[in-house]
């Protein structure tokens, strides 16, 4: 994989996670108290730093073959999960991911929660909400950067891509003080799901001892094939959904026309 492909893959995947973390932080800060929210953010970042410092050397010490098989399996789990949901959303069988709605839901829950002061934290709810959002989404960002970077022997580039995505979303969040609802997250998740699945298949086969024709160039075939298959599934599921909601007499007429 080229350096530019690595950067783009990590950047897109990390933007999705950063948007979700930002939505949680903004909801906590707006509905509750910014001081406690920012303390939760700082504590979450500190926790992530410790975890990444311990996890990084451990990942890089795994033999390359075993690393690729392990990473390929994990990427397939993540990629197929994202892709499945993206296909269902695109075909109308699942509600679209709406960051604005999630923000309003988080905001309402935060406003309804009782205040609880603990030690130096004046609002424990805002602190824990922000902390958990940063740690959970941040771990996914770290996982993406470490696995992609370790596999390509270029953790610094993967880290720069992840940091760039997080920084871009953070700047946008500070600028607008609202969730990034205009980000085409459903489309982005569809693309990222395809890419993660493609890389998972590619690295899984290599980790199992197989060889791809053309080595890295095989990705130029694997990813479009997965994308085409996903789009076919979207079309099929969308058609089935349309037939399911069609009035019974209309369906009978269509079937009769097809028979004749």
Reported pTM: 0.60
**Contact assessment for residue 15 and residue 112, using Cβ atoms and an 8 Å cutoff:** no
Higher-confidence residue: 156 or 179?
156
Question: What separation in angstroms does the CA of 165 have from each of 32, 158, 234?
Answer: 27, 11, 29
Segment among 27-31, 43-47, 126-130, 169-173 with least mean pLDDT: 27-31
DSSP letter, residue 121:
B
Q: What is the pLDDT of residue 258?
A: 46
Q: Of 117, 101, 147, nearest to 35 (Cα)? A: 117
């Amino acid at each position: 994989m080229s350096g530019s492909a690595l950067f783009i893959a990590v950047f897109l995947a990390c933007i999705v996670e950063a948007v979700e973390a930002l939505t949680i932080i903004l909801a906590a800060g707006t509905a509750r108290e910014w001081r406690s929210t920012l303390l939760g953010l700082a504590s979450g970042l500190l926790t992530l730093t410790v975890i990444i410092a311990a996890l990084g050397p451990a990942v890089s010490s795994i033999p390359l073959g075993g690393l690729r098989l392990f990473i390929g399996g994990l990427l397939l789990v993540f990629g197929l999960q994202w892709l499945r949901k993206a296909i269902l959303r695109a075909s109308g069988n699942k509600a679209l991911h709406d960051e604005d709605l999630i923000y309003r839901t988080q905001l309402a829950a935060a406003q309804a929660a009782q205040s609880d002061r603990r030690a130096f934290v004046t609002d424990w709810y805002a602190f824990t909400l922000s902390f958990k959002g940063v740690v959970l989404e941040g771990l996914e960002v770290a996982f993406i950067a470490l696995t992609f970077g370790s596999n390509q022997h270029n953790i610094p580039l993967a880290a720069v891509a992840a940091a760039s995505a997080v920084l871009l979303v953070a700047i946008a969040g500070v600028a607008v003080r609202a969730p990034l609802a205009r980000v085409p997250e459903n489309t982005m998740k569809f693309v990222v799901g395809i890419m993660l699945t493609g890389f998972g298949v590619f690295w899984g086969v290599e980790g199992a001892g197989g060889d791809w024709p053309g080595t890295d160039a095989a990705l130029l075939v694997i990813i479009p094939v997965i994308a085409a298959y996903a789009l076919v599934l979207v079309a099929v599921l969308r058609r089935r959904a349309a037939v399911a909601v069609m009035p019974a007499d209309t369906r009978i007429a269509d079937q009769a026309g097809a028979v004749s």
